[in-house]
Structure 1
Amino acid sequence: MDPPPAVDWAKAERALGTGLPADYKRLVGTYGAGIFDETVQLLVPDSAHDDFDLLALTAERDEILAGLWEYEDRPPGLEEAGARVLPWAAEEGTGAYLYWLARPGRHPDEWTVLYNEGRGPLWEHHDTGCLAFLLAVLTGTAETDYFGHLHEVLKPTRHRFTTAAETHGTPCAERA
């Protein structure tokens, strides 16, 4: 596997208006945009593939959730002034997202994970960072109502990471 493209973290953090967790930066620096075990789609700032672009999907999710929360209650933790969610991964093919719960006064390395089923109002909170949560999901040790089926169905002895380019091909801008 070729090394992933470098990310301009300063540019990404300016665009988001916040720093990002160190474990996420290490994850992106190691793998780049792509999918773990055909299920967890890792988002990356300025990905050449729209479905993996953290910045574009953050703007899209902010707009969608703002409309949703006019009719539904916000998940616990978001009642605090200045708290927000930022997507860092999606569940392939389901509309579900994994978010950081970014709370004021908390360093990004202290952010925890929220899972939203995507096509419903249920949110699940995990008191851990993104890398620890991803590892728990992939090893079947996550205490979750949503990802528990993965380990039972897949039972992988070896995990697979598929890059965005492998799943979506070369972006049009790179083909020219």
Structure 2
Amino acid sequence: MSAVRDLVDETASALGWSGSVTPRVGWEEVERRLRTPLPADYKRFMARFPSGLLRDVLRIFNLVQSRTSLTRVVQDFEPAREVVGRHRDEFDSYPPFPEPGGVVPFADDTAGGLLGWLPWTPDPDRWHVVRLSGNPVAGWTRTRRSMTAVVRELATSRSDRNVLGWDLAARDRVFEPFDGYA
């Protein structure tokens, strides 16, 4: 867990973020409502970051921050699942959760893309991150990295060598919490 803590701390440092989150909802309730276990690194990240916008490119929603936040994410979960399903139907790609091996969404980008876990093993701590581009023809980018590794990469990127494939050199390294999720 020390490596995960280091990734989360490196991400916070790169973004100039010193805050933390006091959970208002337990992880057992979150996993029950989503009907899936979640990776430990994601839980560690959510202890540090509230719902917000990372470098003006990635929207992350904290499920334990408040009941309001959890309700909003659960409501958004179905449309994200439908996007994955439509893409699978058109391009014969990954299935949507809760189908076996179905992508579990956890964030989205500001161009309409989706980031999620590819549950290729029953152990959520071994799940890799995938990204579905907002441009359906561009399709999927599969990584072999954890959520915290992918987010740290976005926080520190000075080029287009990141899961989004976007040149982030000119983007401020900042994390902006969303209003209304507390």
What TM-score does the superposition give when structure 2 sets the normalisation length?
A: 0.73
Q: Which residue is equivalent to 1:39? A: 57
Q: Which residue is equivalent to 2:8? A: none
Residue 69 of structure 1: SS of its match in structure 2? helix
Q: Render the CA deviation track for 1:148-175: whole Å, top value 9, x for unaligned.
A: 411x222x4xx3211111xxxx36xx8x
Q: 2:20 touches 2:48 (CA, 8 Å); kept in 1?
A: no
Decide whether aligned partners of structure 1 residues 68 and 17 sit closer, same or farther in structure 2, where only a CA change above 3 A counts. Answer: same
Kindly state the Cα deviation for residue 66 of structure 1 after the two structures are TM-superposed. 2.0
Structure 1 CA distance for aligned equivalents of residues 40 and 163 of structure 2: 27
Structure 2 CA distance for aligned equivalents of residues 10 and 90 of structure 1: 24
Kindly state the Cα deviation for residue 71 of structure 1 after the two structures are TM-superposed. 2.1
Equivalent AA in structure 2 for residue 20 of structure 1 = L
Q: How do 1:70-109 and structure 2 match up within 5 A?
A: 70-75=89-94, 82-92=100-110, 94-103=111-120, 105-109=121-125
Q: Which residue is equivalent to 2:6? A: none
Of 120, 145, 151, the residue aligned with 2:136 is 120
Structure 1 CA distance for aligned equivalents of residues 72 and 166 of structure 2: 26
Larger RCO (alpha carbons 8 Å, 6+ apart)? 2
Of 110, 118, 137, the residue aligned with 2:126 is 110
Structure 2 CA distance for aligned equivalents of residues 129 and 145 of structure 1: 12
Are residues 1:68 and 2:87 paired? yes
Structure 2 CA distance for aligned equivalents of residues 39 and 91 of structure 1: 5
Q: 1:24 touches 1:130 (CA, 8 Å); kept in 2?
A: yes
What TM-score does the superposition give when structure 1 sets the normalisation length?
A: 0.76
Structure 1 CA distance for aligned equivalents of residues 136 and 116 of structure 2: 15
Structure 1 CA distance for aligned equivalents of residues 88 and 161 of structure 2: 26
Residue 119 of structure 1: SS of its match in structure 2? coil
Equivalent AA in structure 2 for residue 33 of structure 1 = S
Structure 1 CA distance for aligned equivalents of residues 126 and 24 of structure 2: 24
Structure 2 CA distance for aligned equivalents of residues 21 and 145 of structure 1: 19
Decide whether aligned partners of structure 1 residues 82 and 64 sit closer, same or farther in structure 2, where only a CA change above 3 A counts. Answer: same
Residue 12 of structure 1: SS of its match in structure 2? helix
Q: How do 1:131-146 and structure 2 match up within 5 A?
A: 131-140=148-157, 143-144=161-162, 146=164
Equivalent AA in structure 1 for residue 155 of structure 2 = L
Kindly state the Cα deviation for residue 84 of structure 1 after the two structures are TM-superposed. 0.9
Structure 1 CA distance for aligned equivalents of residues 43 and 52 of structure 2: 14
Kindly state the Cα deviation for residue 102 of structure 1 after the two structures are TM-superposed. 1.3
Structure 2 CA distance for aligned equivalents of residues 147 and 57 of structure 1: 25
Q: 2:153 touches 2:162 (CA, 8 Å); kept in 1?
A: no
Q: 2:150 touches 2:163 (CA, 8 Å); kept in 1?
A: no
Kindly state the Cα deviation for residue 97 of structure 1 after the two structures are TM-superposed. 1.1
Root mean square deviation of aligned Cα: 2.8
Are residues 1:23 and 2:41 paired? yes
Aligned identity (percent) is: 22
Equivalent AA in structure 2 for residue 162 of structure 1 = E
